[in-house]
Structure 1
Amino acid sequence: MNAPAKIETTLKDWETDQEVRWCPGCGDYAILKAVQRTLPQLGADPKNTCFISGIGCSSRFPYYMETYGFHTIHGRAPAFATGVKLANPDLDVWLVTGDGDGLSIGGNHLMHVLRRNVNMQIMLFNNEIYGLTKGQASPTSRVDTRSPSTPLGSVDRPANPCAFALGAGARFIGRGIDVSKHLPDVLKAAHAHQGAAFIEIFQNCIVYNKDVFDDFAKPKGAEQQQLWLTPGEPMLFGSEKTGGVKGIRLNQQSLSLEVVDVPDGDWEKAGVLVHDATNRTLAHMLVELPFGEFPMPLGVIYDDPAPTFEVAVHDEKRRASEGKDNSLAKLLAKGQTWTVSGTAADPV
C-alpha cells in the first residue's frame, strides 16, 4: 500500500458550504473544528480522505467535511468503511459513530472492524444518551439516568467503550474531550497508528445530558481530575495550585494501581509509573479505573501496531494469482464447455 503524498491545506479547505446544524452549544462543533484543524497539520489531502458515519447526531459529520463521505445506516458504518478500505487501501478513512450507533445496534460491526484491525481512525462520540431520538438512555448511560425510556432511572450497568475496544482486539485506544486543547494530539497519534485506531471522545449533549462530564471535564480543577497519558512520560496529574502533584503507582502486593503524592516533583522516588503504551495489561487497568478514586485517564492509552486486515487481504489475492492466467474468458471456457454451431435458420 502506498502512503499518499502530503500537501499543504488550511482549515478552510476542509469546510463545506453546508450549514452546520447541531444544537447551539453541542460538543460536536468543537470536535468538528478539532478535526478540521488537525488534518492540515497532517498534510492530508481532501481528495484522498473519506468520512463514513452511521446514524445519530455525530453522523452528520460527513456533510461538513470537504472530502468524500458516506452517511450510511444505523450501526453499519464499520461494514461500509471496511469495504471502502478494501476497495482502495490508499484512502485515509475516518469512521464517525456515537455511543448508541456504535455500541448498541452497531456493537457487532464495531467489534469486527477492531478485531480485523482495518487501518482507519474510529471516533466514537460518547454523550451517554441518545440525542437524535430525543434523549433515551444509551448503552453508556449511567445507573439511575432518568430519560424517556428509563423514567424511574436506568438499572443497566453502562458499557465502557475503551474496555469494549480492548476486548475486541483493538491495537490503539485513545480518549479525549470535545473542548480539550489536547484532542488534536490524540487524533494525530491515532492517524499515525497503522491499524484500527479507536478514540472515545466525551461529548456534551447540551439538551438531553447537559454537563454530565463536569466532574472531570470542567476547566476549573481539571488538573486534579484528568490524567493525560503520553507514551514514555510519567503518569502525573494535579499541580501545586490545585492540591499538589500526584501520580499513579503500581502496588506490588495487590498488583493494582494506586494514587500517590509526589512531593517536590520527585516522581521517581514516589514510584510513579512511566506510561508504556504497548503494555496491554496496563491499558486494561487504566480504562477500568473507577473515576472518583482516580482521575479520568485520557490521551494515548494503548498503541501497539500489528499487521492490518486490508494488507493481508491484498497479499493473499496477489499470492493466489501468481503464475496464473487471469483471463476471464479462458476461465469461463475451461472445463465442461461446448460450442453451438449453425444459425437460427438451420433445422434443429
Structure 2
Amino acid sequence: MSVSILGPENTIVFKRLTKLLQDIPKNNCSAFEEIISEFGQCHYQILYKEDGSLKLSFQLPELEQQFKRQLLSRKAIENVGLFFKGVAKLSTAIEKGFHVSLDIDINLLLRLTPSQQKLWAKSFSSIRLLLIGQPLRYYFSALASGSLPACSSSIPPHTQMFSSQPGQRYGIQPATDGQSVTIHLPIRFTTRQEAVFGSVLLKEFARPPEASGLSQAPQYLYTPPSPASSLSSLSPPSSSSLSMTRQAGESESSPQGDAGIDGGVVSLELLRRHVAGPQLENIVWTMSTFPQLVNYQLSETKTSVRSLMRSSATRMSTRLAAAAAARGRLSLLTTDISSITDA
C-alpha cells in the first residue's frame, strides 16, 4: 500500500495481470478470483474463469451521494470504456458491490509484445485514477489547452466542491483571467498529536524553495486553523471553514464524514506549464490524493521522531548508568581511604 500511494497504478494489480499474461501461454494458470484493497477504501477484483475470460472490476469508497454521482455519471463510465476501447469493453454484468467492470480481451493482449502488455496492465491498474481524477482532469485539460473561460473580475469565480475520499473534500477555483486554477484542500486530522505534527509539516511545505528546480513549482499557501478550532478536539468544522467547503444549498451542519480536528486549508495555484503534456496525469493523481500524501509524510515523520526519541533515551540511559557506576567507584574509594585513616 505504501508503494501505490506514490503512483497512479496499483502495483499489486499490475503484478497480478503481468504474471497472468506470462502464465497463460505456459498453461500454468487456473481459474481464480482475487480482491485487492487499496488505501482510501478502494477495491479491485480480478476474475479469471475456466473458459479463459478475464474481468477486472473496481469499487469506489463510500462517498456522499452528490460526490458519488459526480464520479459515476454515465459520461464518466463511458469515458472508461473509450479509454480501453479495442482491448476491453464495459461489462453489462457488473460484479456485485463494484461500480465498474471491464471484460478484457485476453487473446488480443497475448498477441502483443511484452512491453505493450505491461503498458496495458499499468493502465488497467489505474482505473481509480480515471474515475476519481475526472473533475481535476477536466479543469487542467482546459487550462493546458487555453480553453478555460475567463469571467468578470467583479464576480469571483465559484469554487466547485468535489470528493474522492471519505471525509475529504477539495475545491477547484478557476482564476478570473482563465490563466490558472487553484485547488483548495481542507485538511483534517484524527488526533491532537497528528494535528501538531501535521501543522508543522504543512508549514514546512510553505517555506520558499531553495532548489532552483522547485522555483517553478505551483504556488503553495497554507492557512492554519483558527486557535479556537485548533483547541477543539474532534469537533465539526466551524461555520467560517464551512463557508469554503459547503456547496450551494447545503446546510450549516457538518456531514459525518468531515468529523475530526481542523488542520487548516492548503491552496495550490497551478499554471498552464504545470499541467501541460504528459505530466497531466501525475498532477491529477497528486492533487486527488494529497491528503493521503500528507498522512504518509506524517507517518514517516512520526516514525523518525520516535526513532530519535528512542536513540536519545538510550544515550541518556547509558550516560546515567555510567555516572552511577562512577559514583559507585568513588564511594568505594572513599571507604578504602577512611579505613586506612582510621587504622
Q: TM-score range by the shorter chain?
A: under 0.3
User: Taking CA–CA contacts closer than 8 Å with sequence separation of 6 or more, which of the two structures ends up with the larger relative contact order?
Assistant: 2
TM-score normalized with structure 1 length = 0.27
Q: Which of 1 and 2 has greater Rg?
A: 2
TM-score normalized with structure 2 length = 0.27
